[in-house]
Structures are given as structure tokens and as C-alpha cells.
Amino acid sequence: MMALLPFLALFAGAVRTVVAVAVVILAIAFLLDWLVRTRRINPFHPMARTIRRFVDPMLTPIERRIVRAGGSPSSAPIWALVGAVFIGIVIISGLDFVLQGLVAMIFAASSGPAGLFVMLVKLTFDVLRLAIIIVVLVSWLPISPFSGWVRWAFALTEPLLRPLRDIVPRLGMFDITPIVAYFLLGILEWAFLRMVGM
């Protein structure tokens, strides 16, 4: 089992590099498209036509949403750039989460039942914290909380967040309950592991 660790580290490094290179290439393409759309580069130049031919098909769905929301089509490359960076961060963070879980499982399996128990406790608290992050992100985006791929996060966090909303005051229009819950989970995890002597 321990022989897998170097392979996992190599795999993680390769995925991080591929994601980083893809985000940089997309960033350059979206920036060049923005320069063409805002006429900082002559739109009739052959290079501008090539850029538009390859980049515009990727930006069409984003551009439609921006226009429907009343925005300017020239801002589509900037929004696409933000989206590419965000997706890159999510992929790398998700990969790190999965790899840390695998490493914890390998070490837990080699340390017997106590190690497995600690791993399950940590995994439970990690999943709850991930669900809170997803709930916060969904609240910022035009995504329905009843959507199939985020419903699980709301189902896990609502029993924790609902009672806290009665206790934690709102700061103007901001609900800080998820932040409080996130830190409470960390304290509970630490206290639980101390209580069982781990």
C-alpha cells in the first residue's frame, strides 16, 4: 500500500500541471478575444479572425447568458476567464481532497482499527465542511438548491445550519451562519478526537 504514495504524488503533480497549463492557455485566448472585441486589436486582422474562429464557439453560451442578463457581449471573455480560473481551482482542490483522503486511508489501514476510526471521523467532518462550502458557492451563483448535483450538500448542512440561524445574527444582508458552522465543525472534530484519546 505504501508503494502507492510516490505514484499518487506523481499523478497529482501531473494533473496540477495540466490544469495550470490549460488555465493559462485559456486565459491567453480569452484575453486576446477580449482585446479583439474591444477593438484594441484590429478585428479585421488575420490573427483576430483566427482568434475569433477558435474562441467564439467556447464563449457563445456565456455571451448568451450575459446578454440575457442585460450585460455587454464584450465582457464574455472576462467572465470566461474568471470561470476557467475558478474551475481550475476547484479541480486542483478536489484532487487534493481525494488524494489526502487516499493517503489517510493508507496510513489508517496500516495502523489498525484505531487508525480507521480516526480516518472515518476526519472524513465525516471533511465532507460536512465541503458541503458547507458548496452551499455558500451555490448561494452566490444562479444554481437551484434542488439541483441534483448540489441537493446532497443542502441535505447534509440544513440540520446544522437551521438551528444556528436562530442563534447567529445576520450582518446586514449577509448570513454568516455557514462561517460559524464551518469553524464549529473544526472545534467539534478536535474535541471529539481528544475525547476518544486520538
Where along the chain do its domains lie? 1-110, 113-198
pLDDT at residue 156 in the model? 92
Alpha carbons 53 and 178: distance in angstroms, whole number: 43
pLDDT at residue 58 in the model? 87
pLDDT tens per residue across all 198 residues of the chain: 566 777 877 888 898 899 999 999 998 999 999 898 888 888 888 888 888 888 888 888 888 888 888 888 888 888 888 888 888 887 888 888 788 777 777 777 777 777 778 888 888 888 898 899 888 888 877 778 788 888 899 999 999 999 998 888 887 777 888 889 989 998 998 898 888 765
pLDDT at residue 197 in the model? 66
Buried b (16+ CB within 10 A) or exposed e, 19-31: beeebeebbebbe
- Reference 74, options 95, 56, 101, 94; nearest CA is 56
- What is the largest distance, in Å, between two alpha-carbon atoms of the chain? 71
| Contact predicate 156/138, CB 8 Å | no
pLDDT at residue 198 in the model? 58
pLDDT at residue 184 in the model? 92
pLDDT at residue 176 in the model? 85
pLDDT at residue 1 in the model? 54
| Contact predicate 189/125, CB 8 Å | yes
Which residues contact residue 35 at a Cβ distance below 8 angstroms, ignoring those fewer than 6 apart? 41
